Structures are given as structure tokens and as C-alpha cells.
């Protein structure tokens, strides 16, 4: 039997040893291109330092009144990275989570994060082979499988799929199609251009042809689920209910909704321009109730939505809350949300996903998340011991496997 004194080191060790199946990322293998100007595989020092969180942060340090947006975007990637490094890592202490993540990543790679210049580190990254580097990063992060986000309405990515993409066993596909739900006139026009006989109205032919489109692309990307990112105001739509959910049910794959993103509130920041807003959880529960044969992965961006979403998951077995998305991916909020979810749902949640856009981010996102998840589990196991439960190491190993891998895979299978 374990004692409370055993738990901190034991939980840390078990979580560190448990491989992750990362259920939501924006990462790609080298077959999607890994270099400028349009490669989809983002990796390396300059991509890590110019991540859009850090771009937003540097404009607080040096506002646009001093360095206009247009001047920043006219810089090369290297110049942008040098500017961010100077302002956020040399002239300021890198306390934010995005900055600390860069420090953790460099340290885990064996590089000195305290340098004044990035020149020597750039040379190290130039010596790395992209394909081998994926294995190195996955090993350091202890990630056994990466789930992509394959945006069918992105012309660059779509062209690569049509040209032929060889499967990479390290990556699995997810079909994403936001415009289909959020901008049907644009999406319908695209489908017509691509040879699908759709019309402006949601006629029988349009329904049939749009289903054909989804099925063909699910097959092409070998999608393990379908996904969209939605604004706070989204409730439902005819396309979702008559086309998307029937296709997901027929294919026996879940539908993921990432709800609460409000796009381009400051367009000058480009990828860093978005913010979040409070959504309506009843939109989720209504879908779960009316479509019991569908399974729904759901994450929400507003902190205020988290408790109601967890309570909703108690009522619907076809609802799986997952991760601490985007602006919630900070240690204090991961701690709060994970603690609340476990208290309400026990082990039946997916506490985290990386949402990584740069390969190297897998290192710090999973390192930091494991620490927070471990802290919460240690407290909960301590409480359980105090209540009289004869906790064993095997139970902790089982829980770690469920949280970091099996809950996702089991929900996929239905």
C-alpha cells in the first residue's frame, strides 16, 4: 500500500513515463513541406520564437506606435525572431507561459536558453534533418502519436493532398472544414468549383453532393474525426444537422467542436489577432440530446464555460470534454480546470492536448502539462488515501494511461 509521502515522486515518474496520444495539433510531417515560403511543417528556432503568442506579447513591449505593424511584417522571419528575443528574453524576464515554453524547449534540447544572441542556436537547428528531428522531439516529449488538423478549405494543404501524400505512421488525420458551417456561400462556391453539384439552397442534391465531398475527403486524409472551430454565438445549422452529423454517424467517427473563438479583433496582428468569448453550453447539450448516435469532442475557450461543460458531460455519455484550449493553456487555469473536471467526472476526461503549431512546442507543452496534472492527481490521491482507499501503483499507472492516451482512443472507437 502507498502512503501520502510516496505520491509526489511516484505520480511524477508515472506521468513522465506514460506516452501521449496528442489528440489535437496543427503539426505536419515533412511530406507537407518544411521550408519557406509555404511549407506546412513548422519547426526550429525562428518558428518557435515567432509563435503568434509571442508576437502579441512583443507588441505590448514595443507597441505599434514605436514599431508599426507593417514594419514588423516587412521583416524577415529571422529579424522578427531577433526582435522578439531582444525584447522579451534579453531586456525582460521571460515570465509568460509562452516565453517560459521557449526556455523549457531549448533547455530540453540541450541548448543554453540564456544567450543574448540566437546565432549559435540557429546553426544547431540548421544541422537537424526535419524527419529525424520529429523523432527527437517526440522522444523528448514522450508523444507516441500526433493528430493533425487537415483544413480542406486551405488551398495550400488541399493541393498537397491532391498531389498525393504518403502516410506517415507518426501522424493521423482530422478533417477540418470551418467554412462549411460558418460561411456556406463561400464554401458552396468552392465545392461547385471542385466539381460537386451543389446549389445555394440546401436541396436534396446539395445535401447528397456535400456528403459526397465530406466522405471523399475523410477517405483522403484518413480522418479519425471531423472538427471545426466555432465562434461563441454558434448554436447549430442545417448543414451540421443534415449533412455533417449524418456523415460522422455513418462513418462512426466523432465530431469535435472548439467553441468560443472570435476572429481577427485586431487584424494587424494576423495570426495573433483572435480572442475569445462566452458561449452557450446549451447548444452542446441540445446536440448531444438530439443526436445520441453521434459522439462529440468539445473544448471551450471561455473559463466561465468550463464548469457547465463538465456538468453537461455528466448527463451525456456521448460528450467528451478535452484539453485546455488556447488562452486556457496556462498552468493556473490547467490546474483549476483539471481539478474541477476530476472532481465532477473522475477519470473520464481528456485533460489536455497540445494544440501545438510548431513541432518543438510539443516538448514544453507536455512537460508543463504533466507537471500540473501531476500536482492535481497527487492532491486527489492524497485525499483518497485519507478517506481509506488502498491505493496502488498499478491504479496510478492505469489512470495515467487513461488520461494521456486511452480515453481518447476509446472514445474514438465508440
- Dump pLDDT digits (tens) for 21-41: 999 999 999 999 998 889 999
- The CB-side HSE value for 392 (13 A sphere, CA atoms) comes to 3
DSSP secondary structure letters along 202-223? --HHHHHHHHHHHHHHHHHHTE
| The pLDDT of residue 179 | 98
303 CB contacts (<8 Å, ≥6 apart)? 328, 333, 337
Mean pLDDT of the chain: 97
Q: Which residues pair with 151 in a beta bridge?
A: 176
Which percentage of the chain shows pLDDT scores above 90? 99
- Measured CA to CA in angstroms, residue 32 lies from 6, 162, 181, 192, 356 at distances of 46, 12, 26, 26, 16
* Of 241, 365, 354, 240, nearest in space to 299 by CA: 354
DSSP secondary structure letters along 294-347? S-EEEEES-GGGHHHHHHHHHH-TTEEEB---GGG-SHHHHHHHHHHHHHHHTT
Beta strands in 106-231 (DSSP E): 143-147, 150-151, 171-176, 223-230
Instruction: Tell whether the model's pLDDT for residue 276 goes beyond 90.
Output: yes
| The pLDDT of residue 36 | 80
In this predicted model, what pLDDT tens digit does every residue of 166-177 receive, in sequence order?
Answer: 999 999 999 999
> Would you say the pTM of this structure is higher than 0.95?
yes
292 CB contacts (<8 Å, ≥6 apart)? 318
Instruction: Decide: residue 382, CB within 10 A, 0-12 exposed, 13-18 middle, 19+ buried.
Output: middle
DSSP state of 267: G
d(CA 343, CA 345): 6
| The pLDDT of residue 315 | 98
| The pLDDT of residue 67 | 98
353 three-state secondary structure? coil
Torsions phi, psi of 151, nearest 5?
A: -85, 105
| The pLDDT of residue 37 | 86
Instruction: Tell whether the model's pLDDT for residue 1 goes beyond 90.
Output: no
Q: In what helix (H) or strand (E) does residue 115 lie, and over which residues does it extend?
A: none
First to last CA, the chain: 35
Instruction: Tell whether the model's pLDDT for residue 141 goes beyond 90.
Output: yes
* Of 105, 93, 98, nearest in space to 57 by CA: 98
Which percentage of the chain shows pLDDT scores above 70? 100
Helices 361-387, 331-345: axis angle to 10 degrees equals 40
Q: What domains appear along the chain, each with residue ranges and CATH number?
A: 45-127 (1.10.2020.10)
d(CA 322, CA 144): 18
Pairing of strands 223-230, 171-176: parallel
ω into 34 cis (within 30 of 0)? no
Amino acid at each position: 500500500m502507498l502512503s501520502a509521502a510516496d505520491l509526489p515522486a511516484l505520480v511524477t515518474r508515472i506521468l513522465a513515463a506514460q506516452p501521449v496520444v496528442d489528440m489535437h495539433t496543427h503539426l505536419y510531417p515533412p511530406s507537407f513541406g518544411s521550408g519557406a515560403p509555404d511549407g506546412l511543417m513548422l519547426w526550429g528556432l525562428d518558428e518557435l520564437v515567432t509563435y503568434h503568442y509571442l508576437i502579441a506579447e512583443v507588441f505590448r513591449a514595443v507597441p505599434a506606435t514605436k514599431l508599426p505593424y507593417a514594419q514588423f511584417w516587412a521583416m524577415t522571419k529571422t529579424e522578427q525572431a531577433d526582435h522578439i528575443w531582444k525584447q522579451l528574453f534579453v531586456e525582460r524576464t521571460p515570465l509568460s507561459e509562452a516565453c517560459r515554453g521557449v526556455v523549457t524547449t531549448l533547455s530540453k534540447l540541450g541548448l543554453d536558453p540564456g544567450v543574448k544572441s540566437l546565432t549559435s542556436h540557429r546553426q544547431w537547428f540548421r544541422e537537424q534533418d526535419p524527419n529525424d528531428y520529429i523523432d527527437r522531439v517526440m522522444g523528448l516529449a514522450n508523444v507516441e502519436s500526433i493528430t493533425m488538423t487537415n483544413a480542406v478549405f486551405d488551398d495550400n494543404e488541399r493541393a498537397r493532398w491532391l498531389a498525393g501524400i504518403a502516410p506517415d505512421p507518426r501522424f493521423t488525420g482530422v478533417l477540418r472544414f470551418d467554412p462549411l458551417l460558418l460561411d456556406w456561400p463561400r464554401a458552396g462556391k468552392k465545392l461547385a468549383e471542385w466539381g460537386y453539384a451543389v446549389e445555394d439552397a440546401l436541396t436534396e442534391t446539395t445535401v447528397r453532393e456535400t456528403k459526397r465531398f465530406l466522405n471523399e475527403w475523410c477517405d483522403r486524409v484518413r480522418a479519425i474525426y471531423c472538427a471545426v472551430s466555432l465562434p461563441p454565438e454558434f448554436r447549430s445549422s442545417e448543414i451540421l444537422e443534415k449533412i455533417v452529423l449524418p456523415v460522422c454517424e455513418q462513418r462512426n467517427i466523432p465530431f469535435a467542436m472548439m467553441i468560443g473563438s472570435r476572429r481577427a479583433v485586431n487584424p494587424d496582428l494576423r495570426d495573433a489577432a483572435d480572442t475569445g468569448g462566452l458561449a452557450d453550453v446549451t447548444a452542446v447539450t441540445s446536440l448531444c440530446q438530439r443526436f445520441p448516435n453521434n459522439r462529440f469532442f468539445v473544448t471551450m475557450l471561455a473559463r466561465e464555460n468550463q464548469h457547465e461543460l463538465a456538468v453537461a458531460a455528466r448527463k451525456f455519455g456521448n460528450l467528451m470534454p478535452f484539453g485546455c484550449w488556447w488562452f486556457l493553456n496556462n498552468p493556473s487555469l490547467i490546474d483549476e480546470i483539471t481539478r474541477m473536471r476530476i472532481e465532477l467526472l473522475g477519470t473520464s476526461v481528456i485533460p489536455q492536448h497540445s494544440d501545438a503549431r510548431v513541432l518543438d512546442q510539443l516538448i514544453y507543452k507536455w512537460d508543463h502539462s504533466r507537471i500540473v496534472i501531476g500536482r492535481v492527481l497527487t492532491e486527489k490521491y492524497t485525499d483518497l488515501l485519507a478517506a481509506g482507499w488502498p491505493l496502488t501503483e498499478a491504479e496510478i499507472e492505469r489512470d495515467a494511461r487513461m488520461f494521456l492516451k486511452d480515453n481518447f482512443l476509446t472514445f474514438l472507437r465508440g
